[in-house]
Amino acid sequence: MQSQTLPATPNILVVYDNDGQWGWLGEIYSLKLQNLLGHFDAKVTRTPLANYKSGDIAANDAAFYVASVWNESPLPAAFQTDLENTVKPFVWMGVNLWRYAWDLSNYAPRTQFSDRYGFQLESYSGEKHPTVVYKNTNLEKDPFDAGFSRMRITEPSKAIVHAVCLDEGGTEWPYIVQSGKFWFVADMPMISTTFENRSLAFADLLHDMLGIYHEENHRAYFRIEDVAAVSDLPTLKSLGNVLADLNVPFTISLIPEYRDWSGIYNDGVSENVRITKNSQVSAEMRRWVSEGGQVLQHGTTHQIDGIMNPYTGVSGDDYEFYRVTADEQGFLTLVGAIPGDSASWARNRVNRGLNILKNAGFNPVGWLTPHYLASPVDYKVFASIHPFACDRGIFFFNDAAGKTQATELNSPYIYRDTYGLKRMPETIGYIDPFGWYELQPPTTSEDLLKRAKALKVVRDGWAGFYFHWYLDPEELRKTVIGLQELGFTFTPLSGNLK
């Protein structure tokens, strides 16, 4: 392992653009970066570029500039002076490098820049650059994010190209370049939440950017999803036999209380069934635990009584901790927090479900937010009760119209988020033989394994996925065996993992 150059809990400055019509994008990207840096136990300070004060870079162990708003005016003098004088890691992401690399009086490259760093900014291109190559692996660049800063290496002895990007003609362009402790990333990798994405190269190279090195360690885990007291027992037993054959650690997403308040699936008669100690389903779950299963508390009811939120109001179908509506095409609208939402409401609800599971003889090791979505208040409550969560992080921001929106972070590794939750990565999705409206095609084990193969570029990336209990267990078998053949090790989960 390489020697570590930053403190164990580094202070990191994230400077971002937030001016003009698209300034709100800087809030999103910088917030996602802050959370990703939670993998390194970083103490992050975010500040708009306009608020930068002389000495801010020097006061931190490393700094990032999230350049997301196109701007051709000179950099703030204090920022440029500190950038030029720093001897600490500095990462410039996105656009606007011309403000530093060019003479803005005639838009000609500054020789002082290329002489110092060994590369030069050629141009900003709006053409498509569909592929990033990193560690001999092809990664995707989002088609809606075509913009790219094209660079040329002038002195190879000074500039290291860690990843390249291919344009549609196949021409290679440097993508992530290092010159000493100065790094440049030629687009904004924080945009993406997709699989097999070039953001994986950035996530892996964060170790090198910060000088915080983690060992090569490819781990995996999976969840058996949405198990409830009414789940079909013969189907559970068949799946349990496959789990026993596989002989790997796994997790069980257990819904403490099944509710169908309007009788959608029970001939119009309301149904309410809890996990109990002496039920046959609980007996089967105890067998699963004996075979290496760990129980996750999957909400309390995975729905809200009296509301189609947004589908049926039945456990497993609906959201529990956030109000959501859906249109006929399947598109979701985030309405806002559940009426009456508060820290005490969320705490009481979570503890009620936790007590149901404990009374049935189960001790959950962690938490799983139903459909991953809750209010910021709720997420903080989850963090105070459970040592980790297995859902992807969702973070909120206001768009240009002042409307609350949400963004998702698909981290390839464990991190502690800004709510205080330690997140276990869910990185390759789930088996879905049906698809979802026109929005999402069916997904097979082959798709998950293809994603996992790309994920191996991240030195300590996890292959995390989930599998619904009622599907063909042979698809689960193929996925688990395929991940093992790729070199992933299935690992029990705990709050002590890093």
Task: State the DSSP string of 405-440.
Answer: EEEEE--SS-EE-TTS-EE----SEE-BSS-BTTTB
Provide φ and ψ at 91, rounded to 5°.
-120, 120
Q: How far is CA 70 from the centre of its chain?
A: 26
Burial 456-485 (b: 16+ CB within 10 A, else e): bbbbbbbbbbbbbbebebebbebbbebbee
CA–CA gap between residue 11 and residue 41 (Å, rounded): 9
**Which one-letter amino acid corresponds to residue 354?**
L
**Which one-letter amino acid corresponds to residue 176?**
I
Question: What is the C-alpha end-to-end distance of the chain, expressed in Å?
Answer: 16
To the nearest whole number, what is the mean pLDDT of the chain?
Answer: 95
Ranking 102-106, 386-390, 489-493 by mean pLDDT, the lowest is 102-106
CA–CA gap between residue 270 and residue 258 (Å, rounded): 11
What are the helix (H) ranges across 212-278? 233-246
Half-sphere exposure of 483 (CA within 13 A, CB side): 29
Q: Give the pLDDT confidence score for residue 356 in this predicted structure.
A: 98
For the chain, percent helix, then strand, then coil, each to nearest 5? 25, 30, 45
Half-sphere exposure of 485 (CA within 13 A, CB side): 8
338 in Cβ contact with 322 (< 8 Å): yes
- Residue 229: pLDDT band (50, 70, 90) is very high
Average pLDDT over residues 165-189: 97
Q: Give the pLDDT confidence score for residue 1 in this predicted structure.
A: 45
User: Does 193 have pLDDT greater than 80?
Assistant: no
Average pLDDT over residues 93-104: 96
Residues above pLDDT 90, as percent of the chain:
91
Q: Which of 315, 340, 314, 336 is nearest to 325 (CA)?
A: 336
User: Does 221 have pLDDT greater than 90?
Assistant: yes
Q: Give the pLDDT confidence score for residue 71 in this predicted structure.
A: 92
Higher per-residue confidence, 440 vs 302: 302
Strands (E), 17-100: 43-48, 62-67, 90-94
CB atoms within 10 A of CB 282: 18
Would strands 323-326 and 332-336 be described as parallel, antiparallel, or unpaired? antiparallel
Q: Give the pLDDT confidence score for residue 4 in this predicted structure.
A: 67
- Cβ within 8 Å of residue 322, ≥6 positions away: 334, 335, 336, 337, 338, 373, 374, 375, 378
20 in Cβ contact with 50 (< 8 Å): no
Is 3.20.20.370 the CATH classification of the domain at 219-490? yes
Average pLDDT over residues 36-58: 97
Q: For 252-278, how does the pLDDT look when each residue is reduced to its tens digit (9 = 90+)?
A: 999 999 999 999 999 999 999 999 999
Higher per-residue confidence, 331 vs 155: 155
119 in Cβ contact with 179 (< 8 Å): yes
Q: For 331-375, how does the pLDDT look when each residue is reduced to its tens digit (9 = 90+)?
A: 899 999 999 999 999 999 999 999 999 999 999 999 999 999 999
CATH 3.40.50.880 spans which residues of the chain? 11-210
CATH 3.20.20.370 spans which residues of the chain? 219-490
246 in Cβ contact with 222 (< 8 Å): no
Q: For 110-153, how does the pLDDT look when each residue is reduced to its tens digit (9 = 90+)?
A: 999 999 999 999 999 999 999 999 999 999 998 888 889 999 99
Domain 11-210, CATH homologous superfamily name and number: Class I glutamine amidotransferase (GATase) domain (3.40.50.880)
CA–CA gap between residue 482 and residue 11 (Å, rounded): 40
Q: For 384-404, how does the pLDDT look when each residue is reduced to its tens digit (9 = 90+)?
A: 999 999 999 999 988 888 888
- Residue 3: pLDDT band (50, 70, 90) is low
Q: For 447-460, how does the pLDDT look when each residue is reduced to its tens digit (9 = 90+)?
A: 999 999 999 999 99
- Residue 438: pLDDT band (50, 70, 90) is low
